[in-house]
Amino acid sequence: MKRYFRELSVAAALALLLLVLALVAPSFFSPQPLLSRLTAQTPSLVVAVGMALVIICRQIDISVGSQFGVCAVVAGLLAAAGLPLPVVLFTSIGSGMVMGALNGWLVAGLGLPSIVVTLATMVTWQEALRLFQQGKFVNLPPGTQWFGLRQLGGQTALICAALVLLALAAWAMKNLAAGRFIYAVGTDAEAARLAGINPRRTTLGAFTLLGALTGLAAVMNVVQSPQVQPTCGAGLELKVIAACVVGGVAVNGGRGNLWGVFAGLLLLAMINPALTSLHVEAHWEKAIQGLVILLAVVADGLRTRRSRR
């Protein structure tokens, strides 16, 4: 109980928000908009899982938004060329892996700081994509949306896929050697090395996995509508990093729980809909979003301060 205090308190904050909504704006819970909203969050959730691994490994990746855009356009162009969906899916994941591995190689191989490396790759992919696509939407052939299923089926499939992935990753982080390696390297890379873990390979793996998940998430985003916007990844990095932080992942590595990330993402994602349902004016939204992030970290700070004394 005490060990998961942070994750539970985020879940409690989410529950409180939902309770207020249930009392003030019960229509918030009518099934249709709820399903659409949750489906729209699935790509972010998949990227957030990968981001959590990288942050637990004591690194950070701010290029995921640009990677997401590149993968989405690659997927969109292939689908528009009439290639079957599995080919599209694997090419997108592959492109993500290549970009993730490049970050990983620069960080783990050359020993460069991840925040700077990914700042540079963020700009590079983003501008290259702008030069290549000029902002043009990619129109997808009919039958791509929802994998050719009906809307309800497609949404259910996406939500289930994201949840299964989350559960698998959470299980793996706890029970597989590779998962424990990530915690070990994030806590103390030198100690991990002495214990026989290869910190470089672990870091490279975390970045590559994040890239692959970003590629997967891009496809999950592409199939939700009949067209792809090349700038669809803008701001994604801040959103998922904030979700990780609010969900209790420590930025100096070694600590974090994927279910906490899930709760953090839901909490942040529900603020805007909640404010609309409560008829709060739009110019307050950004300030409230910032306040929630700050409150989460302040609460954490106060707790650790008390426990230090």
Partner 1 sequence: MNTFLKRLLARPEAILFFVLVAEIVFFSVAGRNFNTSDNVANIVRHSAEIGMLALVMMPIILTGGIDLSVGSLLGLCAVIFGVFTHEWKMAMPLAAALTLGVGAMAGGVNAALITVLRLPPLIVTLGTFSLFRGLAEAITKGTMTYRDFSPEFIALGRERWMGLPLQGWLFILIAIGIAVLVHRTTFGRAFRAIGFSPEGSRYAGLPVQRRIAFTYVLAGIVAALAAIVFTARLRQARADAGTGYELQAITAVVLGGTSIFGGVGTVGGTLLGIASVAVLTTGLKLIPAIALAGIGSELGSLLTGALLILALAGGTLAKSLAVRRSRRQSHAAPKPTITT
Partner 2 sequence: MKRSTFLTSLLAFALVTACDKKSDSSSAGNSSDGKKLTIALLPKSKGNQYFATVEKGARAAAAELGVELIYDGPTNTDPAKQNEIVEGWVNYGVNVIAAACENREGISGALKAAQEKGIKIVTYDSDTTPDARSFFVNQATAQGIGETLMDTAAKLCGEEGEFAIITATLTAANMTEWRKNIEARLAAKYPKMKLVTTKPCDDQKDKAQAEATNILNAYPNLKCIMAICSPAVPGAAEAVKQAGKAGVVKVLGLGLPSENRQYVKDGVTQAVILWKVEDLGYLTIQAAVAAAKGTLKTGDKTFTSGKLGAMEIQDTDIILGKPFVFTKENIDQFQF
Do residues 72 and 233 lie in contact, with contact meaning Cβ atoms separated by under 8 Å?
yes
- Of the two residues 126 and 257, which places its CB atom closer to partner 2 in the complex? 126
- Of the two residues 118 and 224, which places its CB atom closer to partner 2 in the complex? 224
Do residues 260 and 247 lie in contact, with contact meaning Cβ atoms separated by under 8 Å?
yes
Can you tell me the distance from the alpha carbon of 249 to that of 228, in angstroms, rounded to the nearest whole number? 32
- Does 241 contact partner 1 by CB under 8 A? yes
Which residues in the 210-269 window bind partner 2 by CB under 8 A? 221, 224-227, 229-232, 234-235
- Does 1 contact partner 1 by CB under 8 A? no
Task: Kindly tell me which residue out of 37, 180, 193, 200 binds partner 2, with binding defined by CB under 8 A.
Answer: 37
- Does 143 contact partner 2 by CB under 8 A? no
Count of alpha carbons within 13 angstroms of residue 255, beta-carbon side: 13
Cβ of 258: how many Cβ atoms within 10 Å?
A: 28
- Of the two residues 19 and 191, which places its CB atom closer to partner 2 in the complex? 19
**Two structure tokens written together for 105:** 């190689």
- Does 289 contact partner 2 by CB under 8 A? no
Question: Strand, helix or coil at 81?
Answer: coil
Dihedral pair phi/psi, residue 228, rounded to 5°: -115, 130
Can you tell me the distance from the alpha carbon of 211 to that of 53, in angstroms, rounded to the nearest whole number? 12
**Two structure tokens written together for 164:** 């299964």
CB of 123 to partner 2, least distance (A): 10
- Of the two residues 53 and 222, which places its CB atom closer to partner 1 in the complex? 53
Which whole-number Å values give the CA distances from 218 to 29, 74, 83, 172, 226, in the listed order?
27, 9, 17, 23, 14
| Contact region with partner 1 (CB under 8 A), list: 106-114, 157-165, 206-214, 220-228 | 106-114
Binding mask 117-146 for partner 1 (x = CB under 8 A): x-xxxxxx-xxx-xx---------------
Task: Kindly tell me which residue out of 127, 143, 291, 301 binds partner 2, with binding defined by CB under 8 A.
Answer: 127
Please report, as a single letter, which amino acid is at residue 143. G
Do residues 261 and 167 lie in contact, with contact meaning Cβ atoms separated by under 8 Å?
no
- Of the two residues 9 and 231, which places its CB atom closer to partner 2 in the complex? 231
Closest CA to 78 of 67, 97, 93: 93
Contact residues: partner 2, CB under 8 A: 25, 27-28, 30, 32-33, 36-37, 40, 127, 130, 133-137, 139, 151, 221, 224-227, 229-232, 234-235, 272-273, 276-277, 279, 281-283
Contact residues: partner 1, CB under 8 A: 60, 106, 110-113, 115-117, 119-124, 126-128, 130-131, 238, 241-242, 245, 250-252, 281-291, 293-294, 297-298, 300-302, 304-305
